[in-house]
Structure 1
Amino acid sequence: MATKQELGVLAGARESVLGLFRWRTRVVVIDELGNESVEWQAPEWPANPFKLLGMLTANNWLYYSVGFLGWTFDAYDFHALSIQTTKLALYFNVSKSDVTTAITLTLLLRSVGAIIFGIAGDYWGRKWPFVVNMICLGLLQVGSIYAPTFNTFLAVRALFGIFMGGVFGGASSMALENVPVEARGLLSGVFQQGYSFGYVIAACANLGVGGATSSWPTMFWIGAGGSFAVGIARIFFPESRQFIEAKKNGGKGGHTGAFMKEAGVVVKQEWRRIIYAVILMALFNFFSHTTQDSYTTFMKVGKALDNAAASRASILMKTGACVGGTIIGYLSQSIGRRRAIFIAALMTAVLIPAWILPNTESGLEAGGFMLQFFVQGAWGVIPVHLQELSPPAFRASFPGITYQLGNAISSPSAQIVNELAEKVFTVMGPKGRRVEAYGPVMGVATAIIAVFIAVWIAVGPEKKGSRFEQASAAGAGPDLGHPEPLHKEPDHLVKTDSLEKDAHSDAPATLTRDASRH
């Protein structure tokens, strides 16, 4: 027989699924006293995107742009390796599968960096942890160039992964807490596409340096320069205003004991939400790495494209990602975060044949463009979705840690694809050649993951409209050593399995503070 606790979780999942198919969307609203509640509102026609962008001040743009560029070069630094798998295999005289071990190590250790720099960002602020992070990222990119052996290269890339992992939480919190609520969906989509933009820059650089094996260090030098530039630029403007005000609102400044006590309360009250977000991010990272990390290799090996053609196809593929992430992130402000992800995941599954079956460069470009439109379209919702689900005072650590723990779980994805493809052969290509089965392996894996994402997002929570920027900084508020919620819920909210839900809600409410302390 199911326990009361289990029934609560099942009831919450059922309400979430039903809510996904309702015309109205779940929106968090705040009354004049600052108390959060939820309402079901009819979707509004999407606002004029240029009007939304016009709401940003010069300072908003400054913080957002640096966060975006930090995330862009974090992605470039990663793709500078994955897009040159063949070159590095030849340079170090190892297999392509061996090279993907470096990708696995990088992804595996990013969660360590997310924990270190996420906590630092919530405790000390957005500025200096971000500066240190980006400069160390550049130094380790240089270290990768001078690795004398493949084992040394693997060791440097493992250490590199720690600093890569610290970027997302700090960059996304700095970028999105400094923009108007109404513009978050659009700017979340644009922000996430810093990842795709980093790939586009890497593909363009790879096209520019040519296919010679000796050209790979140039790609790494470009990444190092970009990381240094972003870190140094961040030095010249102040701490995020929202973080400074959050510290003032708490009344007594951040203290290590109070910070750790509050973190313990959050974990105790929100552990289900944390587990949900980690699994969601694991699925999403399988989603992106399975569809991109080996795609250049697939075009060269399976479709007999040369380096230039494969690079051009990669550029157009990720251009589709940038467009899709922006558009679907923008639409999520109207149709809801979960609904946008659900539709994008199912559309990805539908487009798999168009992605792997064409034999011409133009066909692969068109299929890749459309598939990545929806893969990264779903991803475009993630930054704001994680920020809204996050306990408000932990907006640097919660998104970064859950994102990178998911990355750690998905870390073998490229290696799994490569090893399976190298052991299984298929007839493919314009002349019916017998080749390594990159296409079928990637297609089957992507279909399975897309369906899993659709199911998981259907049963999950949503907090669109959350005013997370109004929260006090962690450790700056009153004593949080008690397990009860930190504010009194409105009467129409009922408690189910320790997760606050309204009678019609599709999601648990997150930890908040009474606005009288703001």
Structure 2
Amino acid sequence: MATLTVLQWGFFISGWFAWTVDAIDFFAVSLATSRLAVYFHKPIGTVTLSITLTLLFRPLGALLFGLLSDRYGRKWPLVADLLVIAAFSLGTGFSKTFSTFLAMRSLFGIAMGGIWGLAVSMSLENMPVDCRGLFSGYLQLGYPVGYLMIAAINLNPRVASTSGWRLLFYIGAGFAASAALLRLLLPESTYFVERRKRQRRRNIVFIREVGNMMKMHWALCVYGIIFMTAFNFYSHGSQDLFPTYIQKDKGLSQHDASLITIIGNCGAIAGCAIGGYLSQYLGRRLTIIVMCLFCGAMLPLWLLPDSFAGLSAGAFFVQAGVQGAYGVVPVYLAEISPVAFRAMWPGVAYQIGNMVSSASAQIESTAGEHLKDPISGLPAYGRVSAILIATAAGVLIICCFIGIESHGAPFEQGRAAFEQDGGKDVVEGDHRGGLSVRNSLELHDKAVFTHIEA
């Protein structure tokens, strides 16, 4: 951590705060689901449609803002994205009808889709190589921190009232505007400034290199989408309906559900930091496998207790396993992604995974209402969630076994998307064309194995 410069810290904190804002605004709906159902006179399964729509539209935002970032820089697309989020969050709070509420959340999803790819690319491309694993975990823990913050705000009696749900979105708009201001105060990404000096005919080259990237990496695109679909089922299965599960299945109060959510997110924060740090030594895929197995072992503790203490412990350890694996995702996707499209490609893979898993909340709520507990007769939201989490963890383990590892990829030396051959993963070092990131990794791995054998 001491190796970072002040500017590198500024880039990281700005990306981290933007990702935290994403969580604050997204989970406001999850925490207010019961109150929204009462206010709009809709069943919980219908209210969760807003979560589905938000996730459904996020790939569009990832594609739009990701391409803008890879072409025009990391600064202004992120500032614009955050301001749009603030506007739609404010509009959500002013919604009078359920139709308006759904429309706001759909438009909101487009804006939210751009945040992750832009935050990751800006933070990690300016980061020393040895710090990537640790700071990948720190970056991803912005999400549980955001969840924790909005859950803590939700404890306020005024916010917890039937009409107090509006305050959650007003506060979210304020956080988004603050994140935009912070990014506005910082300069353009150092990497992007250096690459911009090297190319003049940027528009023509950029369009051609998008095509080169798609031709070269179509199989990697398929893998990334499957990988992130499983990850998003894994994450959302443990989060979206959790407060409802605590209240409906276990019979605890809304206040207790919020407290357990906060405790669970403390576990998520610890898991992100530990997972990201371990990945620098165990490798990205092995760390994800270990964390998935740990989460699976903790599921009985998450599901079986009825007491506040037992459920709190289960939430803590399951979220530590879920987000411990997720803490590796930013650096893993950044290292395997096409070098010149580190804002667009990881963001699109991440958000298409979100889109495919967008029905997770509705699956849980609908299945839970039909699958009654045989003793109490109450909805079995928790059992359905546990099945979903375990299935997603199994798919992730399979993906990690068959996937690629690009640990330490020198993407910070790669050409930008508007440079000649930027879409072909060219790393500077040879004036006749450079060296492919994939080839450089193969040479690096060969040297490592030769050293081990010796």
Distance 1:482 1:463, change over 3 A: closer
**Deviations, residues 300-346 of structure 1 (Å, cap 9, x unaligned):** 00111111111000000011001001001100000100000011112
Question: Partners in 1 of 2:215 and 2:425 — Cα distance?
Answer: 10
Question: Partners in 1 of 2:201 and 2:107 — Cα distance?
Answer: 30
Question: Partners in 2 of 1:87 and 1:407 — Cα distance?
Answer: 25
**Deviations, residues 97-153 of structure 1 (Å, cap 9, x unaligned):** 111100000000000000000000000000000000000100000101111210111
Question: Partners in 1 of 2:56 and 2:303 — Cα distance?
Answer: 28
Does residue 445 of the first structure (1) align with residue 393 of the second (2)?
no
- Whether contact under 8 Å (1:247, 1:472) holds in the other structure is no
Q: Partner of 2:285 in structure 1? A: 338
Q: Partner of 2:351 in structure 1? A: 404
Distance 1:480 1:353, change over 3 A: closer
SS in 1 for 2:50: helix
Cα displacement (A) at 1:464: 0.7
Q: Partner of 1:516 in structure 2? A: none
Matches within 5 A, 1:416-455: 416-427=363-374, 433-455=376-398
Q: TM-score, normalised by structure 1?
A: 0.82
Question: Partners in 1 of 2:433 and 2:34 — Cα distance?
Answer: 54
Question: Partners in 2 of 1:482 and 1:237 — Cα distance?
Answer: 28
Matches within 5 A, 1:175-324: 175-209=123-157, 210-248=159-197, 251-253=198-200, 255-324=202-271
SS in 1 for 2:373: strand
Which amino acid counterpart does residue 442 of structure 1 have in structure 2? S
Distance 1:122 1:284, change over 3 A: same
Which amino acid counterpart does residue 320 of structure 1 have in structure 2? G
Question: Partners in 2 of 1:244 and 1:293 — Cα distance?
Answer: 39
The structure richer in strand per residue is 1
Question: Partners in 1 of 2:51 and 2:78 — Cα distance?
Answer: 23
Distance 1:57 1:212, change over 3 A: same
Candidates 380, 401, 404, aligned match of 1:461: 404
Question: Partners in 2 of 1:342 and 1:487 — Cα distance?
Answer: 34
The structure richer in helix per residue is 2
Question: Partners in 2 of 1:253 and 1:164 — Cα distance?
Answer: 32
The percent of aligned pairs where both chains have the same amino acid is 40
Q: Partner of 2:7 in structure 1? A: 59
Question: Partners in 1 of 2:421 and 2:300 — Cα distance?
Answer: 56
Cα displacement (A) at 1:493: 6.3
**Deviations, residues 223-263 of structure 1 (Å, cap 9, x unaligned):** 00000011122112211111111222xx2235222101111
Q: Partner of 1:40 in structure 2? A: none
Distance 1:54 1:214, change over 3 A: same
The structure with the larger Rg is: 1
Distance 1:61 1:177, change over 3 A: same
Matches within 5 A, 1:373-388: 373-388=320-335
Distance 1:473 1:489, change over 3 A: closer
Q: Partner of 1:120 in structure 2? A: 68
Cα displacement (A) at 1:269: 0.7
Question: Partners in 2 of 1:186 and 1:487 — Cα distance?
Answer: 29
- Whether contact under 8 Å (1:123, 1:254) holds in the other structure is no
- Whether contact under 8 Å (2:40, 2:98) holds in the other structure is yes
Q: Partner of 2:449 in structure 1? A: none
Q: Partner of 1:45 in structure 2? A: none
Q: Partner of 1:130 in structure 2? A: 78
Unaligned runs of 5+ in 2: 427-431, 447-454
Which amino acid counterpart does residue 292 of structure 1 have in structure 2? Q
Cα displacement (A) at 1:89: 0.5
Unaligned runs of 5+ in 1: 1-52, 495-499, 506-518
Cα displacement (A) at 1:434: 2.1
SS in 2 for 1:207: coil
Cα displacement (A) at 1:204: 0.3
Which amino acid counterpart does residue 287 of structure 2 have in structure 1? A
- Whether contact under 8 Å (1:247, 1:254) holds in the other structure is no
SS in 1 for 2:177: helix
Distance 1:254 1:82, change over 3 A: farther
- Whether contact under 8 Å (2:417, 2:423) holds in the other structure is no
- Whether contact under 8 Å (2:416, 2:422) holds in the other structure is no
**Deviations, residues 362-404 of structure 1 (Å, cap 9, x unaligned):** 1001011001101000000000001101111111111111110
Q: TM-score, normalised by structure 2?
A: 0.93
Distance 1:421 1:243, change over 3 A: same
Matches within 5 A, 1:358-377: 358-377=305-324
Which amino acid counterpart does residue 186 of structure 1 have in structure 2? L
Matches within 5 A, 1:148-187: 148-187=96-135
Question: Partners in 1 of 2:119 and 2:192 — Cα distance?
Answer: 13
Cα displacement (A) at 1:489: 6.5
Which amino acid counterpart does residue 74 of structure 2 have in structure 1? R
Question: Partners in 2 of 1:480 and 1:182 — Cα distance?
Answer: 26
